[in-house]
C-alpha cells in the first residue's frame, strides 16, 4: 500500500492523524468498521489521507441522532432558525479560503474555481435565509359559511443527501441549506474522493449554533448509501452523481417509500448558429469546456457548429488553447487543475485514441502537455476533437474531462434534433445574434436548463436546478422553490368556531354551499 504522505496531516476536525472520519451528533466519530478509502492530492498524485467508510450500524447511529434532534429543531421558531442560517452563511463566507483549500487539496480544482463553487453555494444559504417567507402557506377565509381553510408546509423529518466528487462544497449546500431551513435534520454522505470539505462545513455549522444531531456526515461507499436507502427513519433522499447511480438511487429509494430526487450525468451541447459572434462563442466554448478540467455537470461537452460557422469557430478555439494555463492549485497563474484520479484521467485520455480510430480529427491532444508526461499529478491538457459523429464513443459517453468535441451540421433543425435525441437533458446553450432563433430554441429544446449566449446556465438560487431525461429522476428540481417543496409536505386545515348550541347532526357529505 502507498505510504501516507504526511502522517501528521489532520483532516478538518479529525482527531485521528491522517484520517477523515464521520460527524455524528455534533462531534467527530472515528470509524470502527475497519473499512476505508484512499484520498489523493490530484496535483501531486500522492495519497494524503484515508477516509473511514461507514458500516450499516454507523449510518444507523447518525440517523438515531438526527431523529432525536428533529422535534426540537422543527419546533424552533422560524426567526431563530433564520438567525442560525445567517450565521452559517457568514461563517462560510468568512472561511471561504480555508474551505477552498480543502477543495484544491482533494479535488484538484484551482483556488479561483474553488472560490466560485463556494460563492454559488453561498447563494443557496442566502436563499434559505428567506425561509419565513418561503414557508408562508395559503389562507382562504370563509371557504364555507364560518369555515376557513388554510395550508401549512411541514418538514419531512430526517432527510439525506448523497453527493458527487465534482462539487464537494456547493452540492451539499444545495441540499442542506433548504433542508435545514425547512426544519428537517440532515445526513450527508459525501463523495469518498474528496470528503474533507464536508467535515469542515460540519464544524462551521456547529459554530453557527446548529444543535447537535441536526447535521451529520457519514463517509463511505455503497454500504453507506444502501444503509441510507434502506433506513426506515429516513424520509427523503437527494442525490447528485452519475446517471446509472442516480437511476439506482431513485428506484431503490422510492421502492422503500422515500421521496427521492436524483440528478444524473450530462452531455451538454452548445449550438453555434452561422450569425454568432465567433470570438464570443470561442471564448465561451473554451471557458465552459475546460473550466474545472471539464469536471462539471454543466460543462459544455460538444459544440454543434451549424453551416459555415464550423471552420472559423474551430480555428478560433484552437488559437485560444495554448493560452489555457494548466497547473496545480498552488500556482497562482493556473486556470485549470488536474483531474480527480489517475484512473479517471487515463479514461478521459483514452477518448483521444478512440476518436481518431473512429474517424474524428484530433485538433489538439492534451497528452502533449509536459505535465501529462512529467508530473505524478493527474494532469491532462486541453483537447479538441473535430468531426465527431453520434456513433463515436466520444459522443455517446459522458467524458467528464477537458475534451471538447465539435459536430458539424447543416441546419438549425439538425442541431436541435441532436440535442433532443440525446438521452441526457441537463443544460444546453445557443449562440446567435438572432432573437427569434433563440426564442424558438428555448421553445423546441428538450433540456432542463437553457443558455442564450450563456454557456453554463446554472440557475440562480431563487430558481431551481435540474435537467430532463436521464439527467434527473424524480419530479422536483433541486434547491430554490422546488427544493422547499421537496423538503416539506403540505397539510390543509379546515376549521370553524361555531357558537355553542348551533350544531346539528347531518350525515350528508360535507358541502361548501
Ligand atoms: P458517482 O455517481 O460515481 O458518485 C456519486 C455518489 O454516489 C458518491 O457519493 C458515491 O460515493 C456514490 N456511489 C458511487 N457508486 C455507487 C454505487 N455503486 N452504489 C451506491 N452509491 C454509489 O458520481 P461522481 O463521479 O462522484 O460525480 C460525477 C458525476 O456526477 C457525473 O456524471 C456528473 O455529470 C454528475 N453530476 C451531476 C450533476 C447534476 O446536477 N446533474 C451535478 C454534479 C455532478
Bridge-based pairing of strands 424-425 and 468-469 is antiparallel
Residue 267 alpha carbon to ligand 1 centre in Å: 15
| Interval 84-118: pLDDT, tens | 999 999 999 999 999 999 999 999 999 999 999 99
Out of 163, 167, 237, 245, mutate this one to test ligand 1's pocket (max ligand atoms within 8 Å of CB): namely 245
Q: Are strands 215-217 and 185-189 parallel, antiparallel or unpaired?
A: parallel
Going by alpha carbons, the residue nearest to atom 43 of ligand 1 is 297
Q: What is the mean pLDDT of the chain?
A: 96
Kindly give the distance from the C-alpha atom of residue 163 to the centroid of ligand 1, in angstroms, as a whole number: 7
How is domain 270-452 classified at the CATH fold level? Aldehyde Dehydrogenase; Chain A, domain 2 (3.40.309)
Q: In this structure, what C-alpha cell is assigned to residue 76?
A: 424552533
Q: How far apart are the first and last CA of the chain?
A: 77
Q: Which residues pair with 147 in a beta bridge?
A: 144, 496
Residue spans in the chain of domains classed CATH 3.40.309.10: 270-452
Tens digit of pLDDT at every position of the chain (513 positions): 233 333 334 344 444 558 999 999 999 999 999 999 999 999 999 999 999 999 999 999 999 999 999 999 999 999 999 999 999 999 999 999 999 999 999 999 999 999 999 999 999 999 999 999 999 999 999 999 999 999 999 999 999 999 999 999 999 999 999 999 999 999 999 999 999 999 999 999 999 999 999 999 999 999 999 999 999 999 999 999 999 999 999 999 999 999 999 999 999 999 999 999 999 999 999 999 999 999 999 999 999 999 999 999 999 999 999 999 999 999 999 999 999 999 999 999 999 999 999 999 999 999 999 999 999 999 999 999 999 999 999 999 999 999 999 999 999 999 999 999 999 999 999 999 999 999 999 999 999 999 999 999 999 999 999 999 999 999 999 999 999 999 999 999 999 999 999 999 999 998 888
252 contacts 229 by C-beta, under 8 angstroms: yes
Q: What is the pLDDT of residue 16?
A: 52
By most ligand atoms within 8 Å of CB, the mutation choice from 241, 250, 424 for ligand 1 is: 241
Architecture of the CATH domain 17-136+158-264+471-488? 3-Layer(aba) Sandwich (3.40)
Nearest Cα residue to atom 16 of ligand 1: 222
- Minimal-distance CA residue to ligand 1 atom 17: 222
Give 11 Cα–ligand 1 centroid separation in angstroms. 22
| Predicted pLDDT of residue 347 | 98
Active site residues: 297
Give the pLDDT of residue 507.
95
Cβ distance 106 to 47 under 8 Å? no
Would you state the pLDDT for residue 17?
Answer: 59
- Which protein residues touch ligand 1 with a CB less than 6 Å away? 162-167, 189, 191-192, 221-222, 225, 240-242, 245, 263-266, 297, 398, 400, 426, 467, 471
Buried b (16+ CB within 10 A) or exposed e, 225-260: bbbbbebeebbbbbbbbbbebbebbbebbbeeebbb
164 HSE (CA, 13 A, CB side)? 19
Report the pLDDT value the prediction gives residue 4, as an integer from 0 to 100: 36
CATH 3.40.605.10 region(s) of the chain?
A: 17-136+158-264+471-488
Rounded to the nearest angstrom, the gap between the alpha carbon of residue 21 and the centroid of all alpha carbons in its chain is 22
Q: How far is CA 15 from each of CA 91, 104, 221, 272, rounded to the nearest angstrom?
A: 22, 22, 22, 53
Tell me the pairing of strands 27-29 and 22-24. Answer: antiparallel
What spacing in Å lies between the alpha carbon of 263 and ligand 1's midpoint? 9
Q: Whose CA is nearest to atom 23 of ligand 1?
A: 241
Q: Which of 320, 325, 315, 317 is nearest to 370 (CA)?
A: 325
What is the whole-number distance in angstroms between the Cα of residue 311 and the centre of ligand 1?
A: 36
Best mutation site among 20, 103, 164, 301 for ligand 1, i.e. most ligand atoms within 8 A of its Cβ? 164
pLDDT at 49: 96
Amino acid at each position: 500500500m502507498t505510504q501516507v504522505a504526511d502522517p501528521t496531516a489532520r483532516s478538518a476536525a479529525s482527531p485521528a492523524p491522517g484520517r477523515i472520519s464521520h460527524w455524528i451528533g455534533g462531534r467527530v466519530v472515528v470509524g470502527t468498521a475497519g473499512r476505508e478509502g484512499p484520498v489523493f492530492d490530484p496535483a501531486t498524485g500522492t495519497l494524503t489521507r484515508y477516509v473511514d467508510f461507514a458500516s450499516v450500524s454507523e449510518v444507523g447511529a447518525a440517523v438515531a441522532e438526527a431523529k432525536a434532534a428533529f422535534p426540537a429543531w422543527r419546533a424552533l421558531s422560524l426567526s431563530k432558525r433564520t438567525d442560525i442560517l445567517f450565521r452559517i452563511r457568514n461563517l462560510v463566507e468568512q472561511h471561504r479560503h480555508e474551505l477552498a483549500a480543502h477543495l484544491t487539496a482533494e479535488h484538484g480544482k484551482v483556488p479561483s474555481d474553488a472560490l466560485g463553487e463556494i460563492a454559488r453555494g453561498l447563494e443557496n444559504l442566502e436563499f434559505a435565509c428567506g425561509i419565513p417567507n418561503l414557508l408562508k402557506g395559503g389562507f382562504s377565509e370563509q371557504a364555507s359559511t364560518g369555515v376557513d381553510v388554510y395550508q401549512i408546509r411541514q418538514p419531512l423529518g430526517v432527510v439525506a443527501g448523497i453527493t458527487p466528487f465534482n462539487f464537494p462544497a456547493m452540492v451539499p449546500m444545495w441540499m442542506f441549506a433548504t433542508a435545514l431551513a425547512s426544519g428537517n435534520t440532515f445526513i450527508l454522505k459525501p463523495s469518498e474522493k474528496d470528503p474533507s470539505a464536508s467535515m469542515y462545513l460540519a464544524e462551521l455549522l456547529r459554530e453557527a449554533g446548529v444543535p447537535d444531531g441536526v447535521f451529520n456526515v457519514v463517509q463511505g461507499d455503497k454500504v453507506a448509501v444502501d444503509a441510507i436507502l434502506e433506513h426506515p427513519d429516513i424520509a427523503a433522499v437527494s442525490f447528485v452523481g452519475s446517471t446509472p447511480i442516480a437511476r439506482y438511487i431513485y428506484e431503490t429509494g422510492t421502492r422503500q417509500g422515500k421521496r427521492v430526487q436524483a440528478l444524473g450525468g450530462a452531455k451538454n451541447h452548445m449550438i453555434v448558429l452561422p450569425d454568432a459572434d465567433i470570438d464570443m462563442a470561442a471564448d465561451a466554448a473554451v471557458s465552459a469546456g475546460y473550466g474545472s478540467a471539464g469536471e462539471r455537470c454543466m460543462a459544455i461537452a460538444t459544440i454543434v457548429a451549424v453551416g459555415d460557422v464550423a471552420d472559423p469557430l474551430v480555428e478560433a478555439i484552437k488559437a485560444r488553447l495554448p493560452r489555457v494555463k494548466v497547473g496545480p492549485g498552488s500556482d497562482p497563474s493556473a486556470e485549470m487543475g488536474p483531474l480527480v484520479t489517475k484512473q479517471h484521467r487515463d479514461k478521459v485520455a483514452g477518448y483521444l485514441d478512440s476518436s481518431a480510430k473512429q474517424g474524428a480529427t484530433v485538433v489538439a491532444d492534451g497528452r502533449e502537455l509536459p505535465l501529462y508526461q512529467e508530473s505524478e499529478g493527474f494532469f491532462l491538457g486541453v483537447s479538441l476533437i473535430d468531426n465527431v459523429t453520434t456513433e463515436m464513443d466520444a459522443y455517446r459517453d459522458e467524458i467528464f474531462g477537458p475534451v471538447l468535441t465539435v459536430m458539424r451540421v447543416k441546419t438549425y433543425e439538425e442541431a436541435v434534433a441532436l440535442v433532443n435525441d440525446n438521452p441526457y437533458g441537463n443544460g444546453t446553450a445557443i449562440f446567435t445574434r438572432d432573437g427569434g432563433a433563440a426564442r424558438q430554441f428555448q421553445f423546441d429544446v428538450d433540456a432542463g436548463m437553457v443558455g442564450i449566449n450563456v454557456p453554463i446556465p446554472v440557475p440562480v438560487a431563487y430558481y431551481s436546478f435540474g435537467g430532463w431525461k436521464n439527467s434527473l429522476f424524480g419530479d422536483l428540481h433541486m434547491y430554490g422553490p422546488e427544493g422547499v417543496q421537496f423538503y416539506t409536505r403540505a397539510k390543509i386545515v379546515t376549521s370553524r368556531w361555531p357558537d355553542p348550541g348551533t350544531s346539528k347532526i347531518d350525515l350528508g357529505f360535507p358541502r361548501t354551499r
